[in-house]
C-alpha cells in the first residue's frame, strides 16, 4: 500500500481489488489531501486515522462515489468506478455518521425496508447485533448505542464486496464493539474489503493504517 505522496506502482494496481490512484481533494482553497494512493486486495481492511478535519470522512465519500476527487481516480479491479457509478453503488455499503433510521418503524421494519432493496434475511441481521429482543420497538425509543447497532445490522443483510464505515463504533459499549468483530471477520473471510475511519480501536486484526 502506498499513501500520501508515495509512488503509484503498476504492480499494486494489478494485484488490487480496490485502489485509489493519486487522489486529491480541495476544500475551499485548501488541499485536504493530495497524491493519495493505495491498493487493497480481497479480504483487506484499511483503517483511516487522523485529526478532525484531516479528510477521513471525505475520503470515504470519494470511495463511495458520493464526491468526485479534484484529481485522481478510484478503481475497482482496475476499472475507474466513475465510468459506472450505479454498478459501484451496488457493490458497497456506506455507513456514515448518521444512522439513517426511520423513527416510526420498528427495529425489524427498518431492516425489512433495506432487505426489500438489497435482499437478505432480517432475523440473522437482528441476531448478529443482539437486537432480537428489541425487534418490535420503534426506532425512536432506542438509545444512541442501540440505533448504531441497528445501523450496523444492515451490513449483515446481504453480501456487498466493500464496506465503507465512518466511525462505526460511535456510541457502542465494549460488548457491542466485541460483537462487531465476528461480523467484520466473516465479511473479510468471504473476500470483502473494509475501509473504516475511526478515532477508536476497531476489531480488525491485521488491518493496514492510513493516517491522514
Contact in structure between 144 and 171 (CB atoms under 8 Å): yes
Least confident of 3-7, 144-148, 164-168: 3-7
Cβ-contact 129, 152 below 8 angstroms: yes
Q: What percent of the chain has pLDDT over 70?
A: 93
**CB-count burial class (<10 Å; 0-12, 13-18, 19+) for 66:** middle
What integer is the mean pLDDT of 68-75?
96
pLDDT score recorded for residue 14? 58
For position 174, what pLDDT does the model report?
Answer: 95
pLDDT(61) > 50 = yes
In a domain, 128, yes or no: yes
pLDDT of residue 11: 43
Domain contains 82: no
Give the per-residue pLDDT at 3. Answer: 45
pLDDT of residue 66: 96
Give bridge partners of residue 79 from the DSSP assignment.
76
Can you read off the three cell numbers belonging to residue 124?
A: 440473522
Region of poorest pLDDT, from 46-55, 104-113, 132-141: 46-55
pTM for this one?
0.91
pLDDT category, 143, cuts 50, 70, 90?
very high
Q: Is the pLDDT of residue 141 over 90?
A: yes
Calculate Rg over the CA atoms of the chain. Answer: 17
Residue 148 lies in a domain: yes
Task: Tell me, yes or no, whether 107 lies in a domain.
Answer: yes
pLDDT reading at 70 higher than 90: yes
In contact, 199 and 167? CB cutoff 8 Å: yes
Beta strand ranges found along 41-192 (DSSP E): 45-49, 71-76, 79-80, 92-95, 162-166
* In contact, 48 and 196? CB cutoff 8 Å: yes
**Domain membership flag for residue 43:** no
- Return the sign of the alpha-carbon dihedral for residues 112, 118, 123, 125: negative
The tally of domains found in the chain comes to 1
| pLDDT of amino acid 54 | 86
Q: What is the span of the domain harbouring residue 129?
A: 102-157
pLDDT category at 6 given cuts 50, 70, 90 is very low
DSSP 50: -
Contacts 24+ apart (CB under 8 A), 26-29: 26/70, 27/58
Confidence of residue 9 (pLDDT cuts 50, 70, 90): very low
Residue 16 grid coordinates: 488490487
Average pLDDT over residues 191-211: 95
**Banded model confidence at residue 52, pLDDT cuts 50, 70, 90:** confident
Please check the confidence at residue 1 and state whether its pLDDT lies above 50.
no
Report which of 150, 153, 165, 173 is spatially closest to residue 197, judged by C-alpha positions: 165
Mean pLDDT of 168-179: 94
Q: Look at residue 53 in the predicted model and tell me its pLDDT.
A: 84
Amino acid at each position: 500500500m502506498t499513501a500520501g505522496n508515495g509512488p503509484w506502482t503498476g504492480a499494486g494496481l494489478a494485484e488490487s481489488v480496490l485502489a485509489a490512484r493519486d487522489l486529491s481533494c480541495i476544500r475551499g482553497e485548501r488541499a485536504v489531501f493530495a497524491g493519495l494512493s493505495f491498493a487493497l486486495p480481497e479480504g483487506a481492511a484499511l483503517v483511516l486515522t487522523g485529526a478532525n478535519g484531516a479528510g477521513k470522512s471525505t475520503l470515504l465519500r470519494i470511495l463511495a462515489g458520493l464526491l468526485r476527487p479534484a484529481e485522481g481516480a478510484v478503481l475497482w479491479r482496475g476499472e475507474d468506478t466513475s465510468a459506472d457509478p450505479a454498478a459501484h453503488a451496488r457493490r458497497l455499503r456506506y455507513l456514515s455518521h448518521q444512522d439513517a433510521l426511520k423513527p416510526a418503524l420498528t427495529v425489524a421494519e427498518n431492516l425489512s425496508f433495506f432487505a426489500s432493496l438489497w435482499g437478505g434475511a432480517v432475523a440473522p441481521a437482528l441476531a448478529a447485533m443482539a437486537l432480537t429482543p428489541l425487534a418490535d420497538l420503534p426506532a425512536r425509543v432506542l438509545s444512541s448505542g442501540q440505533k448504531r447497532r441497528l445501523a450496523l445490522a444492515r451490513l449483515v443483510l446481504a453480501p456487498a464486496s466493500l464496506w465503507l464505515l465512518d466511525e462505526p463504533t460511535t456510541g457502542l459499549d465494549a460488548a457491542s464493539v466485541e460483537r462487531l468483530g465476528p461480523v467484520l471477520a466473516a465479511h473479510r473471510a468471504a473476500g470483502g474489503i473494509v475501509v473504516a475511519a475511526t478515532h477508536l480501536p476497531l476489531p480488525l486484526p491485521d488491518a493496514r493504517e492510513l493516517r491522514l
